Structure 1
């Protein structure tokens, strides 16, 4: 038990430090996610400190049905054995940091690099379907849902996850959106590293490696020689990505606004989150 308590205490201390950084950086959304994660860790510490009689148990400790992903553990909705934070909350945290639709591969890479998490792509495979079933059985019962990005055909974009609380304009995907969202991802990762440096805490090597991979596709970032093998300067990456983003942002925002306007006019609540059926949309257009 002492080893588990030690691990939990280290996790709690790390989370408290991250909450302080998020508050100082005025990142309210990230701070809320971290506080929720901190409360979960503190409850786990309380349970580990004073275990109950197995015959008693409590509603808080009772397992959720498989696939719900409501608590940590070994089920499909958790982040592996002993995890404190459900997979859906970890995905929500990564998307909140990015602020743009992202694929499972990007979400796993960002969460692993910036939060030292152990998300796996296979854990996200059925997540959107589970969220849609939950919404359709009890609409708006949860504070948020992990939902699909909407294409210009008002259907679900394959593989791209978003958050239901985002405005439709941010959840829509136009012709320029993949590039705009890539640049935004590079900016957010670079800014996260810069915030850590401002507080005197070194950024994880995994975060710098992720930024280096992103920087390869950002014009204006010097490419280090093989002999140097040095990570790029986060400030340089952020500045270069913003310069290109300024070129595309206006046209992309217009395209997304048009998609959002059509979605509001033609789709119901569930379809706005999880995409319309192509056959139904085609029939409507034909009529």
Structure 2
């Protein structure tokens, strides 16, 4: 007699996918990674509901101005430095995620069709990813490109300073981002 199968809670499913990715990610990617590589029923509506729940363990990625970066989700437990996204950091995070997913799939000899379709979709964002004999190696090469390395070095002071400012925010705002400051309209006072 078989007992009932217990699937991980939705928050734990999202956590598994984000831990594998290792960087802020689009919700669709989180759901696709979980669906292809883990057991569970994580869906976009369920992930959207989790993002609104402060107890879920999910947090917003933050821009250098400390507002929420739209379209990215992270784990609340990650250090602020990892949750601050800039263009080069976002690119490096995406490439790192490709390396991690490709290595995870390679370590699972019985990876199914869904895992290979996921790798195929990830290859689209890696230079020569479609032609590469090893997608992880192609992503590593892109990570080591002089252009990306230089862009990361240039952005590093911005990210460090933003993380220091974020540390002074109340805990809730560290997870959701600071409210956007409305722009001032009009001109000089007469």
Q: Normalization by structure 1: what TM-score?
A: 0.57
Matched with 2:95 is 183
- Equivalent pairs counted in the alignment come to 179
Matched with 1:209 is 117
Matched with 1:103 is 26
Whether the 8 Å CA contact 1:146–1:161 is kept in 2: the answer is yes
Structure 1 gaps of 5+ residues are 9-40, 42-83, 135-143, 224-231, 283-287
Which of 175, 180, 185 aligns to 1:273? It is 175
Query: Segments of 4+ in structure 1 off by > 6 A?
Result: none
Matched with 1:194 is 106
* SS in structure 2 at match of 1:176: helix
Alignment of 1:12-91 (within 5 A): 41=6, 84-91=7-14
Q: Which has the higher contact order (CA 8 A, sep 6+)?
A: 2
Matched with 1:242 is 140
Whether the 8 Å CA contact 2:81–2:159 is kept in 1: the answer is yes
Whether the 8 Å CA contact 1:189–1:207 is kept in 2: the answer is no
How far apart are residue 220 of structure 1 and its match?
A: 2.8
Matched with 2:40 is 117
Which of 243, 247, 258 aligns to 2:161? It is 258
Whether the 8 Å CA contact 2:95–2:126 is kept in 1: the answer is yes
CA pair 181-126 structure 1, distance change in 2 beyond 3 A: same
Q: Distance in 2 between matches of 1:237 and 1:192?
A: 12
Whether the 8 Å CA contact 1:103–1:160 is kept in 2: the answer is yes
How far apart are residue 104 of structure 1 and its match?
A: 1.2
How far apart are residue 249 of structure 1 and its match?
A: 4.6
TM-align CA RMSD: 2.4
Which of 51, 73, 84 aligns to 1:161? It is 73
How far apart are residue 113 of structure 1 and its match?
A: 0.8
Per-residue CA deviations over 1:6-55 (Å, capped at 9, x if unaligned) read: x63xxxxxxxxxxxxxxxxxxxxxxxxxxxxxxxx4xxxxxxxxxxxxxx
Per-residue CA deviations over 1:201-238 (Å, capped at 9, x if unaligned) read: 32121111111111122113353xxxxxxxx64xx211
How far apart are residue 153 of structure 1 and its match?
A: 1.5
* SS in structure 1 at match of 2:71: strand
Q: Distance in 1 between matches of 2:149 and 2:18?
A: 19
